[in-house]
Amino acid sequence: MGLSGSTVLLIEDDPNVRRLLPRYFEREGAATLAAAGGLEGVDLALDRRPDLVLLDVNLPDIDGWSVLKRIRQSLGFSVGVIMLTGRSDVPDRLLGLELGADDYVVKPFEPQEVVARARAVQRRLKATATVSRGSALRAAGLELDQAGRMLYVDGAPVLLTAKEFDLVLAL
């Protein structure tokens, strides 16, 4: 399963990466969007609702962690997010994954590997959506969307870490 028909948003301040990576995704049949800053990236994500976001942590206006939180609050887990960053420390990687990133790639990277990881994220998202469609649990103003891994209170999304979501689901 490829990326054909998918939309990929690259939020990255390095112009070389913004020129290079889209070429690889376009070869796979994906449409690409690019933003040089976090605020522009959030706006594009909310407006265009991409299938996948490639997100740098170190951005000139707001950090990638804040962008990730905003995307998850607004779009839930229906969009895949891969962090692309020079930060290779274990605490940084863990933070990205705890905040809801689907994968974490450390720079410098091979573009083919990023594309392969993107395919893997898309496969997981499509499999989850197919298997658990209609899997929302509802009670007293709460809705727990198992497929999207989101909690809604009176229709408003609540940002949860992966562990928090698992805990709420268990309860």
Tell me the pLDDT band of 132, cut-offs 50, 70 and 90.
very low
The encoded tokens of residue 145 equal 């969307």
- How many CA atoms, within 13 angstroms, populate the side-chain half-sphere of residue 90? 0
Q: Which positions ≥6 away from 170 have C-beta within 8 Å?
A: none
Q: What secondary structure letter does DSSP report for 125?
A: H
**34-68: per-residue pLDDT in tens?**
999 999 999 999 999 999 999 999 999 999 999 99
* DSSP labels, 13-31: S-HHHHHHHHHHHHHTT-E
**61-120: per-residue pLDDT in tens?**
999 999 999 999 888 888 999 999 887 788 888 888 888 899 999 999 999 999 999 999
Q: Which positions ≥6 away from 97 have C-beta within 8 Å?
A: 104, 162
Instruction: Compute CA 47 distance to the chain's CA centroid, rounded to the nearest angstrom.
Output: 15
Q: What span, in angstroms and rounded, lies between the C-alpha atoms of 99 and 69?
A: 7
